[in-house]
Amino acid sequence: MVGFPLLLIPLAVYNIIVFLMPGVSLADPLLTVTLVSGAEWRITLSDVLLALGILLLLLEVIKGARPGAKFVMDHLLSLIVFGAAAAEFVLWPKFGTSTYGLLTLLALVDFISGIALRTRRATVAPARRAQQVEPEPAPPPQAAPAPQPASAPAPLPAAPPTPANPVPPAASVAESVLLDHSKPTQAQPAVASPDLQPDRNPPPEPERR
C-alpha cells in the first residue's frame, strides 16, 4: 500500500494561499500569546506552516522506521514532492521566501531519511537471518566416568540338608508293590521225604484159596 507524502499538506496550503488568496499575508500575526515573562509571542501564518511541516516530518520518520512501511514508490513520491517544491522556490517569485525555502528543506530531509532507513533495514535484515539460521554450538565433550571396581559375586545359597533316612513317597511304594504282583513266580518242585516216598517193591499178594 502506497503511503501518502504528508509534507505535501503544508506545501499545498502555501500554494492555495499564494494563488487563491493573494490578499492574505504570511507575515500577519494570527494570534498573540502572552508568556509568563510578560513577553508577547506573535504567531503568524508562516510560523503555523513551519510548525505543521515539522510535525508531519516527525510522522514521516516514524512511518519509515516501521518494518516494511516504506516502499520504492513512497520514496519516489517524496522525491517528486521535493523536486516540485524546489522548482517553485527557484522559479516563481512569490515562492522565494524563507518560509517556503524551509518547507522545501523539510521535504528534502523526508526523502533522505527514508532512503537512510531503508538502507539500514536492508543491511540489518540479512544479519538477523544469519543469526537465526546459524546452528547452535555443540556442547563440550563430557569426561568419561571412572570405572567402578568389580564387585565380588554374591555367594550362592546353601542347599538344604538332606535327611538321613529319607522316607519314600507313597506313589513309589505303590508302584513297587504292583510290579512285584505282576511278575508270576515259578513253582519249585517239592522234594518228598524218604519216609513218604512209595515203596518201589510192593508186598506180595496173599494166595487165594
Count of domains forming the chain: 1
Q: What are phi and psi of 32, to 5 degrees?
A: -120, 130
Using pLDDT thresholds of 50, 70 and 90, give the confidence band for residue 141. Answer: low
User: Do residues 9 and 50 make contact, with C-beta atoms less than 8 angstroms apart?
Assistant: no
What pLDDT does 171 receive? 53
What pLDDT does 197 receive? 47
Assigned domain for 208 exists: no
Per-residue pLDDT tens over the stretch 62-104? 887 776 555 677 888 889 999 999 999 999 999 999 999 999 9
Assigned domain for 182 exists: no
Assigned domain for 175 exists: no
pTM of the model: 0.57
Q: Is 54 exposed, middle or buried (0-12, 13-18, 19+ CB in 10 A)?
A: middle
Assigned domain for 107 exists: yes
Residues spanned by the domain of 21 = 8-126
